[in-house]
Amino acid sequence: MSNPHHISIEPIAGRVLVTKGEKTIAESRRALALKEGSMAPIVYIPRDDIVMDAMQRTERSTHCPFKGDASYFRLTIGDQVTDDVAWSYEDPKAEVAAIKDHLAFYPGKVDAIVVQ
């Protein structure tokens, strides 16, 4: 029996920028768009293209039966701290292995996620 829950992952053409305040948190030409069912695509950015010095892993974790266990990150810029600004599947299921070593940002917790 086939799984009716469809997930696709495609490269994003162009450059993706993630900003918070005046700071660019991520800039990537290697971002991926994960489309899951009827939900809007989620942008996943390689860790190498993120200012990881400003990110700290939190204690929060969740489980997705289709992708695996998600870890969450807080963003610290100066004295501004934004909890659970992004998540990552550090050991994703084989079907979504392409998102390993990538983070996805919550649009409502950053100022912009722009594809140029």
What's the farthest any 2 CA atoms get from each other in the chain? 52
The tens digit of pLDDT for each residue in 3-38 reads: 557 899 999 999 999 999 889 999 999 999 999 988
Residue 40: inside a domain: yes
* Amino acid (one-letter) located at 43: V
pLDDT higher than 70, residue 89 = yes
Q: Does a structural domain hold residue 44?
A: yes
- Please tell me whether residue 49 adopts helix, strand or coil conformation: helix
- Residue 101 scores a pLDDT above 90: yes
* Total number of domains constituting the chain: 1
Residue 2 domain-assigned (yes or no): no
**Tens-digit pLDDT profile for residues 46-75:** 999 999 999 999 999 999 999 999 999 999
Which domain covers residue 31, as residue numbers? 7-112
For residue 73, tell me if it sits in a domain.
Answer: yes
Give the CATH number, domain containing residue 86. Answer: 2.170.150.40
Asked if the structure places residue 1 within a domain, the reply is: no
Q: Is residue 54 part of a domain?
A: yes
* Structural domain contains residue 16: yes
